[in-house]
Amino acid sequence: MRAPSYKITNQSFLTLLIFHFLLLLPILLKAQKTDIVILDNGDRLTGEIKWMEQAVLKFNTDAMSYIDIKWKKIVYLKTTNSFRVENSDGSLFFGMLETDSLKKELIVGIGSKANRVDMDDVVEISEVKDTFRKGLNLSVDLGFTYTKASDIVQFNLSGDGGYSTLYWDRNFSFRSVLTLQNDTSFTKNQNVKVTLYRLLPNKYFLTGFAGATQNTELGLKMRLSFGGGGGRHLLRTNNSILRAAIGLQGTREWQYGTSEVKNNLESVFAAGYEKFMLFTPKLNINISIQAYPNLTETGRYRIDFDAKIKWELIKDLFWGITFYDNFDSKPPQESSGEGQNDYGITLSLGWKY
């Protein structure tokens, strides 16, 4: 039996060619890296601008993959992608980027609607992302210790991440500290928190948050919390951030050994400080404190304190030490006889994406 034959006309061939071109178009566009950066030593780089924070521009090239460039070393850059730019007074600008090298200004946008920002006043640049995966940044720390003399095994896992779009920032964090002693005593201190920020002019912001906490030492089987408030960045530069916030939150608590459930309303007072030392080696210091006076249970208040120092060992790999203290003036159950505090120090290795 003779196989059927097909005649390919010029029109059908052109249609087929256009069809395959449209299929490949997203790949071709993704492969293009046409952003330009020129350094003060005359070096010209072509690639893709990812973001700028802590006075470091993250730049992606085909030849060298991701590289870090000191912001003060850049004399010219240009990109046709859309970015969000924040300056030191909290103002936000959106659009394509180019620099005026003579005036040392960053031009955000095009034409008569473009804004000019002094290069030294730029605090952060983040791309307006079209997908969650592209916009996600993530840091994970892992630690393990064993002490033979006291037969204590401790495992800790922590991390944080974020995702930004236009006027919104979304952050999450988690920590888990599990301790086993003499094969008989097992304690855990675990929490996870999700926070949403709506950025406002003059460094102000609105925030909403939700979280879950477990703490064996304080007899807390589970605490669910949700709330909101507002705050302000008191200091925001390329190497330091100081912020404060106030708000209200509702909590629902379960304790060990009883089916009783407690519902509480708490006020929230929070402050945080971050300090960055950017090169040789990179060093990050992060300190936060939250106070929760209870508005439902008279005389009860809680305080959470965290301090973390992280050193970069090699690119994107960090060694860290963390001190934490969780205080409750009237804990659900003083099950371990240790009173009102649960505190500890953890060592870890971390990776940043």
What integer pLDDT is reported at residue 12 of this predicted model? 56
What integer pLDDT is reported at residue 55 of this predicted model? 86
Domain boundary among 128, 152, 181: 128
- For the chain, what is the domain count? 2
Whole-number Å distance between alpha carbons of 317 and 347: 14
Alpha-carbon distance values, 86 to 118, 223, 237, 266, 352 (Å): 11, 36, 10, 33, 23
What does the CA dihedral 226, 228, 232, 234 come to, rounded to 10 degrees?
A: -30
Q: How many other CB atoms are there within 10 angstroms of residue 143's CB atom?
A: 19
Residue type, 285: I
Tell me the whole-structure pTM to 2 decimals. 0.77
Domain boundary among 108, 128, 148: 128
What integer pLDDT is reported at residue 11 of this predicted model? 58
What integer pLDDT is reported at residue 246 of this predicted model? 98
The answer on 323 and 190 residing in a single domain is: yes
Whole-number Å distance between alpha carbons of 197 and 164: 9
Question: At 140, which CATH number?
Answer: 2.40.230.20
Contact 192, 215 (CB under 8 A): no
Whole-number Å distance between alpha carbons of 284 and 277: 6
Whole-number Å distance between alpha carbons of 268 and 251: 12
The answer on 41 and 58 residing in a single domain is: yes
Whole-number Å distance between alpha carbons of 127 and 133: 13
The answer on 291 and 258 residing in a single domain is: yes
What integer pLDDT is reported at residue 135 of this predicted model? 57
Whole-number Å distance between alpha carbons of 218 and 251: 16
Q: Is there a domain that residue 87 lies in?
A: yes
The answer on 174 and 255 residing in a single domain is: yes
Whole-number Å distance between alpha carbons of 3 and 9: 19
Task: Note down pLDDT in tens along the chain; length 353 residues.
Answer: 444 444 445 555 556 556 555 555 554 444 457 899 999 999 999 999 988 988 889 898 877 778 889 899 999 999 998 899 999 888 889 999 999 989 999 999 987 789 999 999 999 998 876 544 445 678 899 998 877 767 788 899 999 988 877 788 889 999 999 998 877 788 899 999 999 999 998 899 999 999 999 998 888 999 999 999 999 999 988 889 999 999 999 999 998 888 889 999 999 999 999 998 776 678 889 999 999 999 999 999 999 999 999 998 887 789 999 999 999 998 876 544 456 889 899 999 998 87
Q: Which domain holds residue 193?
A: 134-352
In the chain the first and final C-alpha atoms are separated, in Å, by 61
Q: How many other CB atoms are there within 10 angstroms of residue 255's CB atom?
A: 19
In 3-state terms, what secondary structure has residue 28? helix
Q: How many other CB atoms are there within 10 angstroms of residue 269's CB atom?
A: 15
